[in-house]
Amino acid sequence: MLKRMSTDTFNIILIIGVILLILEIAFFNGGLIFSVIFSSVLIYFGWKKYKKFWAKIMFWIGAISLFFTVLNMMAVRFLIIAAVVLFIRHYYRSKSEPERIEPVIMEEEFPDTEGKPLIKQKFFGSEATPDRPYKWRDINIQGGIGDRIVDLSNTVLPQDEAVISIRHFVGNVLIYIPYEVEVSIHHSAIFGRAGIFQYRNKKLMNQVVSFQTPSYTLNKPRIKIITSIASGDLEVKRI
């Protein structure tokens, strides 16, 4: 079911769950953190001395208490309801659109102001490189929620190796690369897809993908791309 779920749908569910958790802790159930900590302490000390009878009682009291505490969270209830709805939708869709399993073969070899970053670090919202010519500077950012777009067609890369490093929480990363540029890509994701040039829509679930053009070590200009996304898609296109 998760493999057929779009990344955007998963991201929306994840964001709503996090918001509900924050609202519950802040406004509705402030003692939630205390209950979780207390139950965790019972579990820890009970497991540490589990061979003793009193430790077993302590462990299971903590485990049952933690289970019902988590189950009573609004965020968890929402995720359970969302999972049931998605399961039902997936069941009916699989009846009308049976999944076709086919082998997929993917060859893996494996005017700007000085000092200002090309892409700003912001937790919410999307960011993109300028849509006008700009002077290249290596990109090393951390993002929160939103999309990130890097377009290299409006800049001149250095004669040595350029670097793009993006660590992102929820959202998609889209990178446009000129045809004459050699590329090395190292991408990791907990949930999402990776589309690199002609290799399209490789589903990722806590996986790492590496790709390198055949002449990367011989020709210049070249660029090294390192991306890490909790939930989102990576797409690298020629332009």
Predicted TM-score (pTM) of this structure: 0.59
**% the chain with pLDDT above 70:** 80
pLDDT tens string 18-38: 888 788 777 777 677 788 888
Q: Would strands 139-142 and 182-196 be described as parallel, antiparallel, or unpaired?
A: unpaired
Q: Helix, strand, or coil here: 202? A: strand
Q: Is the pLDDT of residue 226 over 90?
A: yes
Q: Dmax over Cα atoms in the chain, in whole Å?
A: 73
**What span, in angstroms and rounded, lies between the C-alpha atoms of 145 and 126?**
8
> For position 122, what pLDDT does the model report?
62
pLDDT tens string 44-97: 888 888 888 888 888 898 888 888 888 778 888 888 888 788 777 765 665 565
Of the chain, the end-to-end C-alpha distance in Å amounts to: 34
What is the DSSP secondary-structure string of 74-111?
HHHHHHHHHHHHHHHHHHHHHHHSPPP-----------
- Reading the block at residue 56, the tokens are 């077993």
